[in-house]
Amino acid sequence: MNTFINSVPRSWRERKYKYRLIGGICKKCNATFYPYRGSCPYCGSDDIEEVNLPKKGRLISYTIIYSPPSEFRLKQPYIVGLIELEDGTRIIAQITDVDVNEVKDGIEVEAVFRRYREQGADGIIEYGIKFRPISD
Ligand SMILES: [Zn+2]
């Protein structure tokens, strides 16, 4: 088994979705969603195209997680928010750069790519998308 040949395109593909805000748009019902997937979560159609989503939006609601699973130990407690992007797409993502006591519904946020979790003793760190408040 040639894992090198097989794994390189796969990691490229994952990185593409991880470092750009690429979602899907359903050609049948026009819904947009994130992350990209091959079938529409709203109508089930598989006529999906990639779309670059706006990186700014508004925090609709949030939950503060006080007891994260161990791989999230980099930062706890942490905030998970429901964000509505400028085009109306809704995303669930971690909210960063704000104190849990200061976060509130309705704040403007923007996408950033941040350390997401650390895996076990080997210390592999994954990076992923988070949202932070837009200052000023
Ligand atoms: Zn659809």
Q: Helices marked H in 1-136 — which ranges? A: 3-19
pLDDT tens digits, one per residue of 1-47? 444 554 555 555 555 555 678 899 999 999 999 888 999 999 999 99
Predicted TM-score (pTM) of this structure: 0.72
How sure is the predictor about 65, in pLDDT bands with cuts at 50, 70 and 90? confident
Compute the distance from residue 46 Cα to the ligand 1 centre, in Å.
8
Residue with tokens 């946020």: 109
Q: Which residues surround ligand 1, an ion (CB under 5 A)?
A: 26, 28-29, 31, 40, 42-43, 45
Domain ranges in the chain? 1-53, 54-136
Identify the CATH assignment for 54-136 out of 2.40.50.840, 2.130.10.30, 3.20.20.140, 1.10.3470.10: 2.40.50.840
C-alpha closest to that of 17 among 37, 46, 41, 44: 37
Q: How far is residue 37's CA from residue 46's CA, in Å, rounded to a whole number? A: 9
